[in-house]
Amino acid sequence: MRWGVFFFLVLLMICAPIPLASQTSQSGGDFAPSDAVIPPGSAIPKGVILVKGAWASASDSVTPVPEGGGVNGNTFRNQYFGMTYALPKGWIEKYQGPPPSDTGRYVLAQLRPAEKLNGSLAGTMLITAQDMFFTPLPASNALQLVTYNKDNLQADYKLELATTQTKIGGRPFVFYAYWSPVAELHWYVLATEIRCHAVEIVLTSRDTKLLESLVLDMNQMGLPAEASPTGGRGGGTVPVCMANYANGPNVISRVEPVFSDRTFNPVPVRIIVDKTGKVKHIHFLSAFPNQTKAISAALTKWRFKPYIQNGQPTEVETGIMFGNAPRHMSTRADAGSVD
């Protein structure tokens, strides 16, 4: 009897499906059960960027950020820059632009006619911003940036109109135009400065009449009072902006961030310092999550001398470049200065 039980147990052990360690390990990781079925809604959606590299983020979701605007309905709005613009009839933003670059470049909107004409696109309108704290180009304001670009046009282009002052929406802009004889395309470039960013509107078309009508249409654009190719230093309802405010005696107490991982990318950061000298808001133009965490932890410990304007403590916005890559932010003494 005992032998019978023993043999029965042995038989069970041989015949029963044994959950071997190797079989168990074949679920998850690189393997799925052979009979697995993907339930509806569990597949990764197409056309979604789930794994992001260095990306833009902010310490709070209330304070407007430059990349926070966009086209809604037929109107472009950007609260950070105080801009509104009703799109020309039939124009759309088909594709939103990329995230900000670590050189401080933003694509705020890229507009085009919804329909092609005889298979060809009639033109495009690109609204960009360049953070003047982080441009590697030798320019301290929008006028200098535009002049530099105009003076260094690539060989394919011919200047059509040298830089000239104009007004868009009642605010001063600098305007120049160039064209490509081989492509028969014309570029009209309008620029001003807002909150220490060179805001550019680039119109492109083969049809100069269309471009002229688009420039006229721009006059309905809503812009802040500070907008100016040589001004644009904030103030009023937004903080004043000032390059290099996070240097020298303005900083009373400073703690360097401790990074848990070295990725060597430049990390441009804009901060708003409140009237008491504390960091009120942090905007990362381009950073990995671990960098965001380390820099946030450090900046909350920084203390600044309150910025005084007209005898009153005033909020100030400035830029700091963190990270290990061999690149430098603008160090011109007058860059973004309010004085």
39-58 positions binding another protein, by CB under 8 A: 39, 42-55
DSSP secondary structure letters along 307-331: EEETTEEE-EEEEEEESSSS-----
The answer to the question of residue 259 lying near another protein (CB under 8 A) is: no
Question: Could you say whether residue 18 binds another protein (CB under 8 A)?
Answer: no
Q: Which is nearer to another protein, 279 or 287 (CB)?
A: 287
Sign, Cα dihedral of 232, 238, 244, 249: positive
CB 203 within 8 A of CB 122: no
3-state secondary structure at position 142: helix
Q: Quick one: which of 60, 75, 96, 254 contacts another protein (CB under 8 A)?
A: 96
Do residues 230 and 143 touch, judged by C-beta distance below 8 A?
yes
Residue span binding another protein (CB under 8 A) among the ranges 122-130, 227-235, 305-313, 329-337: 122-130
Least separation in angstroms between residue 282's CB and another protein is 20
CA–CA separation, 323 and 119 (whole Å): 46
- Distance from C-alpha of 30 to C-alpha of 47, rounded to nearest angstrom: 23
x/- contact string, 308-337, with another protein (CB under 8 A)?
Answer: ----------------xxxx----------
What distance in Å separates the CA atoms of residue 292 and residue 257, rounded to the nearest whole number? 10
> Is 202 one of the binding residues for another protein (CB under 8 A)?
yes
Taking alpha carbons only, the member of 80, 18, 104 closest to residue 284 is 104
- CA-only gyration radius of the chain, Å: 28
Confirm or reject binding of residue 12 to another protein (CB under 8 A): no
Residue closer to another protein by CB (options 193, 200) is 200
Residue 123 Cβ, how far from another protein at the closest point, in Å?
A: 7
Cβ distance 331 to 244 under 8 Å? yes
- Closer by beta carbon to another protein, 71 or else 272: 71
| Total residues binding another protein (CB under 8 A) | 83
| Binding flag, residue 105, another protein (CB under 8 A) | yes
User: 263, 290, 296, 337: which one contacts another protein (CB under 8 A)?
Assistant: 263
